[in-house]
Amino acid sequence: MTNKKCPKCGSENIDEGSIGGAVFGYKSHKQGLFSEPVKDFEAKLCLDCGYVEFYINVDKLKKKLK
């Protein structure tokens, strides 16, 4: 939804937010950038069909992992 349109239904009725917390997170099984749990996700939600995409600010993550 980088162009502010839902890829599933084409709606422009998009809400932006974030997901964070100690329980929810992503951890890669490979060594590298995501070897530590990632907990700060940006989210875009289509308010018409419910489709959701999650994003990580990679620059912010790299600074955090140094």
8 A C-beta contact, residue 23 and residue 5: no
Give the Cα separation of 61 and 39 in Å (integer): 10
Domain boundaries, the chain: 1-57
Which pTM does this prediction carry? Answer: 0.64
Task: Please say if the pLDDT value at position 63 is more than 70.
Answer: yes
Mean pLDDT computed over 55-63: 77
Mean pLDDT computed over 43-56: 91
pLDDT tens-digit readout, 5-43: 999 999 999 999 887 655 555 666 665 555 555 667 788
Say what the pLDDT of residue 45 is. Answer: 92
